Structure 1
Amino acid sequence: MPFDRQVLAARTRLLADALAVEAPGTSTEVRIPPFAVVRCIEDPRHTRGTPPNVVESDPLTWVRLATGRAQWAAAVENAQVKASGERADLVEVLPIPG
């Protein structure tokens, strides 16, 4: 069954915003194209340009990770998530409490 694009976009944005609230900071950029980009995780302080830590995922994988329906390690291993940088491991902040 196909997913409703508007529902997927809303859930993606809501969960990305929740991550930014739960793990505030600017050292890691989480990208879920085409729906959301947030910065999170404290220290080291980053203020300009692309952060040294970047996580990218498709929206459906993101929703599954954020809600605990998928595991971080498996998503990275299966190339569903691209993570680069020392602070790009979100295992400590996922799933998002809710």
Structure 2
Amino acid sequence: MPTGLLRSYRPVVSSPHIKSTAVVAALAALDEGRTPERPVLRDAVRALLTALVERAPGRSVEVRVPPYGAVQCIPGPRHTRGTPPNVVETDPQTWLAVATGRLAWSEAVSDGRIRVSGIRADLSGYLPVQPG
């Protein structure tokens, strides 16, 4: 096959346009009081996690948004085995709200919608990663 004809084997997943479309679609569904379709919510969560990693590269904090994704970010000492000492965990809807600036980090943590452990687990300086 000529070089100019090579394409990603997963073009829909690889396209940044599709990912930003997923964020917009998920937020629109939430604004309308609906639950976003599972694939849309998954793609939106993953796109925003990827944006966080791009903004705060590193491996000292693990951010978990079950069941859709987990990433390591924030500069500092990295952890390689077992449960990391710096963990952030939340549900998909809260992650979308915090990652797009619709919900303040401090409010989500104080309400218990985001669970944090470790001295590096404060993401407030890196959020929002995309305006909502």
- Percent same amino acid among aligned pairs? 52
- 2:92 is equivalent to residue 74 of structure 1: no
Between 1 and 2, higher relative CO (CA 8 Å, sep ≥ 6) is seen in 1
Q: How many Å apart are 1:7 and its aligned residue? A: 0.8
Q: Aligned to 1:48, which of 67, 77, 81?
A: 81
**What is the rounded CA distance, in whole Å, between the counterparts of 1:32 and 1:2 in structure 2?**
16
User: Alpha-carbon deviations, 1:22-65, whole Å to 9, x = none?
Assistant: 10111000000000100000112333333210000000100111
What is the TM-score with the length of structure 2 in the denominator? 0.70
Contact 2:56 2:74 in 1 (8 A): yes
SS in 1 for 2:54: helix
- Name the aligned partner's letter for residue 113 of structure 2: Q
Instruction: Kindly report the root-mean-square deviation, in angstroms, between the aligned alpha carbons of the 2 structures.
Output: 1.3
Q: Which runs of 4+ in 1 moved over 4 A?
A: none
Contact 1:26 1:51 in 2 (8 A): no
Q: Which runs of 5+ in 1 are unaligned?
A: none
Structure (1/2) with the larger strand percentage: 1
Q: Which runs of 5+ in 2 are unaligned?
A: 1-33
Q: How many Å apart are 1:97 and its aligned residue? A: 4.5
* Equivalenced residues, count: 98
**What is the rounded CA distance, in whole Å, between the counterparts of 2:35 and 2:41 in structure 1?**
11
**What is the rounded CA distance, in whole Å, between the counterparts of 1:82 and 1:74 in structure 2?**
12
**What is the rounded CA distance, in whole Å, between the counterparts of 2:73 and 2:130 in structure 1?**
15
1:4 aligned residue: 37
What is the TM-score with the length of structure 1 in the denominator? 0.93
- 2:87 is equivalent to residue 58 of structure 1: no
Q: Aligned to 1:33, which of 55, 59, 66?
A: 66
